[in-house]
Amino acid sequence: MIDVQGLKKQYGDVSAVRDVSFSVDSGDVFGLVGPNGAGKTSTLKAIAGLIEPTAGAIEVDGRKPGDTAMRKRLGFLPEESPLYEDMTPRSYLRFFADLYDVPTDRANERIERTLDRLDLDVRDRQVGDFSKGMKRKVAIARSLVNDPAVLIYDEPASGLDPLTTTTVVEFTRELANEGKTVIFSAHDLYHVESVCDRVGIMRDGELAAIGSLEDIRETFGDIEYRVYTDSKVDGAEQDGDRFVTTVGTMEGVETVQEQTRSAGGTVLDIRTRESTLEDVFLEITGGPD
């Protein structure tokens, strides 16, 4: 579990993070999103114990960030994760397993199982010869060599091809299903929407919205109904050989239906469109990333 209360981080006169509070339960994936400069990375680094908060309290798996016991229970994947390129995946991962005092037999089994799941078959070639996607898979495997209870993934699929991205996103969901606590930060909001149980949207160092996707949509999003008819009614637009009227409420839908019947026409179809996370993100942050 992760618990963050009143987190603040000041860099000189710049307030990078201001009074941020949230918690993530075991088995959940919490998405942390926001425009560049919103304070996401500072928040993640503070949770991981890589920077000292200016104020606030953080607990990771019941321990304070930076505590040695906490570090053994944490897996952190930064957005940029350089590897030792003269090592092979196996030697690289065994090296980190040794740092965590993982017994050799257990480490070898865990490494092979994780690389199998990530579809990384090349394991005895130098990492420096790998593509970006293959390197990212090695970095993800590194975050798991100590079998952490808590994972922090900052842009885990950044710059990857669609197939590799799908593998990474599905793998993240599987880790949560195993009971791990996961914070998942990404610019591609489709991936956040597909994998996260709850989402926090940051803006100017603050949490502008937090909750389940359904709660956030209900508070900040819209529902749009498109009613297709074979006769023209008030506000309808031509759409091929039929007409479409866009309304925002069920009362509006009923009005279109009544007008269509009065005109001797027929309602052909009614389609509903809810705001996506990207729609809500743009509404809250005021523009594209």
Residue-wise pLDDT tens digits, 218-261 = 888 888 899 999 999 999 999 999 999 999 888 999 999 999 99
pLDDT for residue 70 is more than 50: yes
- When pLDDT is averaged across residues 100-121 and rounded to a whole number, the result is 94
| Tens digit of each residue's pLDDT (9 = 90 or more) over 138-149 | 999 999 999 999
End-to-end CA distance of the chain: 29
Q: Does 107 have pLDDT greater than 60?
A: yes
Taking the CA of residue 220 as centre, how many other CA atoms within 13 Å lie in the half-sphere pointing to its CB?
A: 21
User: What's the pLDDT at 288?
Assistant: 52
Q: What is the mean pLDDT of the chain?
A: 91
Q: What is the mean pLDDT of residues 152-165?
A: 83
Residue 289 has pLDDT above 50, yes or no: no
User: Can you identify the CATH homologous superfamily of domain 2-218?
Assistant: P-loop containing nucleotide triphosphate hydrolases (3.40.50.300)
Alpha-carbon distance of 282 to 195, in angstroms, equals 20
Of the pLDDT bands very low, low, confident and very high (cuts 50, 70, 90), residue 162 is: confident
70-74, 109-113, 187-191 — most confident range: 109-113
Rounded mean pLDDT of 260-268? 94
Q: Which residues contact 46 (CB under 8 A, 6 or more apart)?
A: 7, 9, 17, 52, 53, 58, 65
pLDDT at position 267 is: 94
Categorize the per-residue pLDDT at 67 as very low, low, confident or very high, splitting at 50, 70 and 90. confident
Contact 120, 89 (CB under 8 A): yes
Q: Give the predicted TM-score (pTM) of the model.
A: 0.80
